[in-house]
Chains A and B, each alone.
Chain A
Amino acid sequence: MDARQQSLQELQQIKKMMERSSKFSSLSGLSGIAAGVCALVGIWLVVQTIAKWKQDHLKNIYAPEDELAKQLLVIAIVTFMAAAIFSFIFIFLRCKKLGIPVLGRSARRVIINIAIPLFAGALFIFRLSTLGTYELIAPACLIFYGIALVNASKYTLDEIRYMGLTELVIGIINLWILGYGLIFWGIGFGLVHIIYGVIIWWKYERNQTETL
């Protein structure tokens, strides 16, 4: 090996160490795909539940709105938890494969930087719902989620930044097309997750022999 090749290799190793120590790069595209599928299933259940409630209402069967709201809330919580659990499982498996600690320092930074805007967003959305401005809930979810992703993207794959920007744009468009929240959720939490999941999988995981 000549000196030039040696220098190249050394530089590459330095770059790898810099990235590895400052970024959490063992995200799994499969997590995104799983989260997106969960979101779409959840939204489908919501649509079905609302349709059934409307039918009952028309047939004069007793169907209180409280009951509907409760059912929708349960669906939302189960969907969110399923998405979170599946995402975690795939990230966990990827970390194990690459031999990287799951809750290492860079992963912790990603989590904290996602959590701060999401926490503020949760309070904001809770307040929106208590004030009865339901139409703003869907765009607010998308916008805060987008901000959270952009914020955390400094410490992880670049794709997360673009995914965050995509969520932001979808949320902002939703602000001017109120009342179609479910469709925008389907796009933002369903399709966008699946698309970026496929991109990340294609780019980083397709060749499983590649290691850090």
Chain B
Amino acid sequence: MSNPIENLNKTFDSRVRLGIMSTLIVNDQINFNDLKQLIGVTDGNLASHIKALEEIGYIKVNKGFIGKKTNTTYTITKLGEKSFQQHLGALEKMIKTMK
């Protein structure tokens, strides 16, 4: 019997990354400040987790402008969506099989 823990994605170990992915999977796009407010973390902490998720290719960073102010938004990639769904599936399986 395979160990269901193996299917859990190590990338989603942190609360902040989980928060970013959960938010992006139900919202088309979201900007830095809204994300910060929702998750309740400091700028630096959020930025480092965003960078990590971007490097793996789970989220996409879109730099834009509102007037003269920069407005950076984030969207989830196909790969990110798939990985997150797999992670959710693994979690569910753990709950079911370990009763």
Which chain A residues have a beta carbon within 8 Å of chain B's beta carbons? Answer: 2-4, 7-8, 10-11, 13-15, 17-18, 20-22, 101, 104-105
* A residues near B38, Cβ cutoff 8 Å: 17, 20-21
What would be 28 A-B contacts, judged by CB atoms less than 8 Å apart? A2-B98, A3-B98, A4-B98, A4-B99, A7-B94, A7-B95, A10-B18, A11-B92, A11-B95, A13-B15, A13-B18, A13-B22, A14-B22, A14-B88, A15-B22, A17-B19, A17-B22, A17-B23, A17-B39, A18-B26, A21-B22, A21-B23, A21-B27, A21-B30, A21-B38, A101-B37, A104-B34, A105-B30
* A residues near B25, Cβ cutoff 8 Å: 18
Given contacts A17-B19, A17-B39, 18 further A-B contacts (CB under 8 A): A3-B98, A4-B95, A4-B98, A7-B91, A7-B95, A8-B95, A11-B92, A11-B95, A13-B18, A13-B19, A14-B18, A14-B88, A15-B22, A17-B38, A21-B22, A21-B27, A21-B30, A22-B27
* B residues near A2, Cβ cutoff 8 Å: 98
* B residues near A13, Cβ cutoff 8 Å: 15, 18-19, 22
Which chain B residues have a beta carbon within 8 Å of chain A's beta carbons? Answer: 5, 15, 18-19, 22-23, 25-27, 30, 34, 37-39, 88, 91-92, 94-95, 98-99
Chain A, residue nearest B12 (CB): A10
* B residues near A22, Cβ cutoff 8 Å: 26-27
For chains A and B in complex, what number of residue pairs have CB atoms within 8 angstroms?
51
